[in-house]
Chains A and B, each alone.
Chain A
Amino acid sequence: MDVRVTNVRKEFDRFPALHDVSLDIHSGELIALLGPSGSGKTTLLRLIAGLEMPTTGRIYFGDTDASEWTVQQRNIGFVFQHYALFRHMTILENVSFGLKVRPRSTRPPANEIRRRAMELLDLVQLSGLEKRYPNQLSGGQRQRVALARALAIEPAVLLLDEPFGALDAQVRRELRKWLREIHDRTGHTTVFVTHDQEEALELSDRLCVMSQGKVEQVGTPDTIYDQPSSPFVFGFIGESSHLPVNLNDGDIRFGSLSLGQAAGPLSAGPARLFFRPHDVDLVDPGTGLNGAIVASRRVGGTRRVELDLGVGQLVEIDVPFDQPFNQSGAISFRPRRWQLFPAAERGI
C-alpha cells in the first residue's frame, strides 16, 4: 500500500522533533529511514504506525486520510529494536497473538490460526521452536519471531525500528540478507529505520536520509551515494573530504592551483569542494594538491593517509597499500570526481 506523509510536524513538549516532513512511500518497496540519532527517523516511523500523532500534517494510507486512525485501525506490523516479545507466552502464542485478539466476527478458527502461525515460523526458519519461550532464544531468533508475529496480521505496511540494532555484527549481516529475501517473497511495503548506512545502502530500494528533523534527500542507493544533494548527505554517507575553494568564472581554484571547471549554478566566490577519498588520482609532484603525510592507516585493501595541505587544511585520501612514499613524505593528488556546495551551507 502507498503511504504518503505530507507536511508533518511533530513536537514533544514544544520541542520540535520533525519539521514539515513529506515522504512518499511506494507500494511494495523497501525503504530505509537513515540518519544520526536525534534526526527524527524513529519519530517518523512511529507517526506512520500511529504510535504517535502528528502535531500538524496528514498521513495517507493509499488515498485515505489515516491521520486520525488509531494504531489498531492502521493494521501495521511493527518490529521493535528490543523485540518486545511477550515473555510469558510461547513462540507460537506470540505469533498467534494478533489473530487471537481479533473480534469473533473476523477471527479465524483456532486450527486455522495455528496453521498460519506455523507457516510463518517456517518462513522465518524457526520450525520446531514453537513451544519455547522468548528467553530461551538467541537475539537473532527473537527478532525473527517478532517479524513473524508482525507478518501474522497481514499488515498493510511493515515498519521496523532499528530491527538489527541490538544484534552483533555477524548476525546482523545474515538477518539483513534474509530480510531482503522475505521482502522479495512476501512483497510487503516495508519501512525500516537504521543509523547504519551500510545496512541502508545494501538492503533498501530507496533511502530517506534525515537530519535534525528534516528530510535531506530521498533516492536510490546509487543516487544518494553518487549525487548527494547536500554537504550533510555527502558527509554522512560514505567517506568524504572537503576543501575550501574559490570559484572564478567557473574555474575551481585552491590557492593558485586550478582543479577544474565548475558545472552548475555556482560560478563565483568561495565554495566547498567535497570528494571521496578513493576518487583521487595520484599525480607528479607540483601538478596537483601537494600535502605532507600526517598519519596513515591500513583500511582493507588500501591505505588511508591524512595529508596536510598547508595552512592547517587536512584531507584524507586512499592510496594503494604498496604505494612507495618519496623522501619528503609528501603526496600530490587531484580529485577525480567532486561536488561543490556553497561555502556557508551547513554540513560536516
Chain B
Amino acid sequence: MATKLTARRSRKTSPTSETPLVQGLLIALSLLFMGVILLLPLYAVFHEALIKGPGAYFAALLEPDAQSAIRLTLLVAAIAVPLNLVFGVAASWAIAKFEFKGKAFLITLIDLPFSVSPVISGLVYVLLFGAGSVLGPVLKSYGIEVLFALPGIVLATIFVTFPFVARELIPLMQDQGTGDEEAALSLGANGWQTFFLVTLPNIKWGLLYGVLLCNARAMGEFGAVAVVSGKIRGQTTTIPLQVEMLYNEYNATAAFALASLLALLALVTLVLKSALEWRFSAEIAAGNH
C-alpha cells in the first residue's frame, strides 16, 4: 500500500512537495493568518480614519500640530537615512572587502540595535546627554540642546535604524568579492573612481532596498524617540508620537488619520521592495558570472 501510494505520488509531484490537499490547507492557513494579523488591522486603520468622511480626515491631517509632526518626521528621516546610508556602506565595505582583527565583533555591534529594546536605546541617550550627565550641561552651555530636541530624536533614530543598510549590503558585497575592484585598479582607476564606477553600481539595488527599509523604520520609530523627544506638542512629536497622544485623548479619527499616513508609507515600501526584489534577483542571477 505504501509503495503504491509513493509510486502514484511520484508521477504527479516532486518528492519534496506535498499532496494537493496538504498544499491547499497550508496555503489557506497562511492566508487566514495573514488576513487576521496583517490585513484586518490595516483595513481597520483606514476604516477608522475615514469613518467621519474625507472632510474630517483631511482636517485632521491639516491641523497645525499634525503638520508639525509630519514635517518633523520627514526632517528626521531626511537626516538619519542619508547618514545611515554612508555609515552602512562604509561598514559593509570594511567588513566585506578587508581582513582585520575584531571583524566579528564589528558585525555583532551592527546587530546590536536589533537586539536592544528601542526604549533602552532612548534611555542611553538620556543618560549620555541628560541634565545629570557630563556631556549634557557642557553642550547646553554652548547652546546645543540634544534631549527634547531635534538632535536627540535624530540620534535615537540613527541608532535604531543603523543595521538596515549594512545588513543588506554585507552578504551582497561578500558574495561579489574584490575581483571587480582589483580589475578597476589594475586598469588605472583611483579609489574614488573604483567606488563610484564599479562598486556602487554593483550594489545599487541592494543599497536602495536597504535604504527603503531604513526609511520606513526611521519614520515609524516610536520607543526610542518617545524617550528622548519629551513629546512637546507641535515641536518634538513625530507622527507615531502624535498618533499615540491623539489616541490617548480619545481623538480616534485624527489618530487614525495620521496613522493611515504611516500605513500608506508601509504599503508603498512594500510595493517598492517587491519590485526591487524582483529586479534585484534577476540582476543577481545574471551577474553571477
Which residues of A does B touch, CB under 8 Å? 49, 51, 71-72, 75-78, 80, 82-88, 97-98, 101-102, 134-135, 142, 146, 149-150, 152-153
Contact = CB atoms under 8 A, between A and B. Distances in A.
Contacts of A78: 182-183, 186
B289 A134 contact: yes
Contacts of A80: 179, 182-183
B15 interface: no
8 contacts: A71-B182, A72-B185, A86-B180, A86-B183, A97-B189, A98-B189, A142-B289, A152-B187
A102 B187 CA distance: 9
B33 to A, nearest CB: 39
B281 to A, nearest CB: 14
A71 B202 CA distance: 22
A142 B200 CA distance: 22
A87 B188 contact: no
A153 B188 contact: yes
B289 A87 contact: yes
A134 B288 CA distance: 10
Contacts of A51: 182, 185-186
Contact of B188 (A88, A102, A135): A102
Interface residues of B, number: 19
Interface string B277-289: 0000000001101
B180 A84 contact: yes
A88 B193 CA distance: 15
A97 B184 CA distance: 8
B197 interface: yes
Contacts of A83: 289
A101 B190 contact: yes
Given A86-B197, A87-B202, 10 more contacts: A71-B182, A72-B189, A77-B186, A80-B182, A84-B182, A86-B183, A87-B287, A97-B184, A101-B193, A102-B188
Nearest to A13: B99
B198 interface: yes
Interface of B: 179-180, 182-190, 193, 197-198, 201-202, 286-287, 289
Contact of A101 (B180, B182, B187, B202): B187
B178 to A, nearest CB: 9
Contacts of A87: 202, 286-287, 289
A146 B289 CA distance: 13
A85 B179 CA distance: 9
A296 B197 CA distance: 58
A75 B179 CA distance: 17
A254 to B, nearest CB: 52
- Which interface residue of B179, B187, B289 has the most chain A CB atoms within 10 A? B187
A207 to B, nearest CB: 24
Given A51-B182, A88-B201, A101 B188 contact: yes
A247 to B, nearest CB: 51
B96 to A, nearest CB: 16
Contacts of B190: 72, 101
Which 7 residue pairs of A and B lie closest in terms of their CB atoms, listed nearest first?
Answer: A98-B187, A84-B179, A84-B183, A78-B186, A101-B189, A135-B286, A88-B201
B186 A86 contact: no
A85 B201 CA distance: 13
A135 B187 contact: no
Contact of B186 (A49, A82, A85, A135): A49
Given A80-B179, A86-B198, A88-B202, A153 B289 contact: no
Nearest to A102: B188
Contacts of B287: 87, 135
Contacts of B187: 97-98, 101, 149-150, 152-153
Contacts of A76: 186
Contacts of A98: 187-189
Nearest to B182: A51
A49 B186 CA distance: 8
Nearest to A106: B188
A90 to B, nearest CB: 13
B197 to A, nearest CB: 7
A98 B184 CA distance: 8
A51 B179 CA distance: 11
B230 to A, nearest CB: 47
B183 A72 contact: no
A278 B108 CA distance: 61
A134 B198 CA distance: 14
Nearest to B204: A88
B186 A71 contact: yes
A236 B261 CA distance: 71
